[in-house]
Each structure stands twice: as structure tokens, then as C-alpha cells.
Amino acid sequence: MEVHYARVTNSLIGAGGATRLYGEALIADIPGKGTFYLLPVKHEKQGVLSQFWETAILLTLGIKSSIGMLKTEDFETMRKASGWMRLKTFSGSEYPAMISFHDESKPKTIFEIDPRRLDKVFPGVRITGLEIQITDEPVSTVLRDRLPWLNTPVGQEVFERDPPGKQRSYRDRPLGFKVTKAHFFGDGSR
């Protein structure tokens, strides 16, 4: 995931911050068991999908300031960062949304995986933690080759959607009814 943080000086309140991120979902191939993907979003308790990496990277670097209140020393910490670091989040147990497919060639077969119960889908597999690497390497570009339906034209829906008139709240919809192709690439603001 490529993430840029910037200070906004001409905001209405006189200070602020902005982020720009782009990258691909991470592919986790488990030999002999299958594949799952770590999306660059998290599935919140309220049911919404929200950015994961913007704040997780700051917390991992030990930066306590929010995006809108980043200080000069916070930017210096980011500039000096390099190498591998154990991921830190607000609760200490947050993970990006994890999904898999019954058939990767059919996006409507998507299903969500509970990171704390990975062994239900992949027996004997569990997550002991996540690490991030700060690097200047280019963002990977293998996801579109792996899941070619991500290349379908903008506006062409590939995931399940409720039929017109169905009255189900967004919160009650399964992940497969919320996710879009853009959720595989961060916010795509690059």
C-alpha cells in the first residue's frame, strides 16, 4: 500500500491533514489449503467498510496525532521509518477485512473470513500478528492478473446486490453485498 500524508494549511480551521493511498489487497496463498485476501479496508462493527491503513500506519510508527493534527515531528518520524514493524491498531486486535472465494473466477462467491477464526476455513492456520514493511519498492500489480474480473469497466457490477425495492439496511447486508472492485485497491486516489 502506498500512503502519502500531507499537512493542509488552508483549511477552514487553519490546520488539517490529508492522505492519499493506493495499493492492492494482499494475497495470502496457503499451500494445499487455498487463498485469502486482506483488503485495504476494515469491516466496522456498524457494518461499514472504512480505510484501514491510514491510521494503522501512524499507530505502528508510534505517532499519536490524528491525521488532521500531524505535527512537524510526526512527518519527520514518517520520513525516517524503514524496515519491518509489527502492526499496531487502536484496539490492538483490529485486522483488515479478510475475504476468500469459493471460486476465484466468480466474484459473487466471495465470503468474509473472521481473522480470529481463520482455522474454520483453513484448518490448522491462524494469525499470530501482522507486520508491515516500510520500503520504497513500487506497489505490486499482480492482483488484476490473479482476479481478471477486477478489470471489468467501471459501473459494471460483479458482486451480489439486493434487488430493487428490497428493504435491508446496509448494516445487515453481508460483506459480498457491500464490497466493490475499488475496495481491492484502497481509495484509488493515485
Q: 3 lies in a domain? A: no
Per-residue pLDDT of 46-82, as tens digits, reads 888 888 888 899 999 999 988 888 888 999 999 999 9
Does residue 23 have a pLDDT over 80?
yes
Give the pLDDT of residue 189: 37
Q: 40 is in which domain, residue-wise?
A: 24-62+84-184
Q: What is the pTM of this model?
A: 0.86
Q: Tell whether 91 is covered by a domain.
A: yes
Q: Does residue 189 belong to any structural domain of this protein? A: no
Q: What is the pLDDT of residues 120-159, one digit of tens each?
A: 999 999 999 999 999 888 888 899 999 999 999 988 889 9
Rounded CA-CA distance 119/101 in Å is: 16
Q: Is the dihedral of CA 118, 116, 126, 62 positive or negative?
A: positive
Best CA proximity match to 4, nearest among 86, 79, 71: 79
Structural domains in the chain (count): 1
Instruction: Give the residue, 106 or 138, on which the prediction is more confident.
Output: 106
CA angle 124, 26, 111 (to 5 degrees): 65
Instruction: Output the pLDDT for position 122.
Output: 96
Residue 156 belongs to a domain: yes
| Residue 79 in domain | no
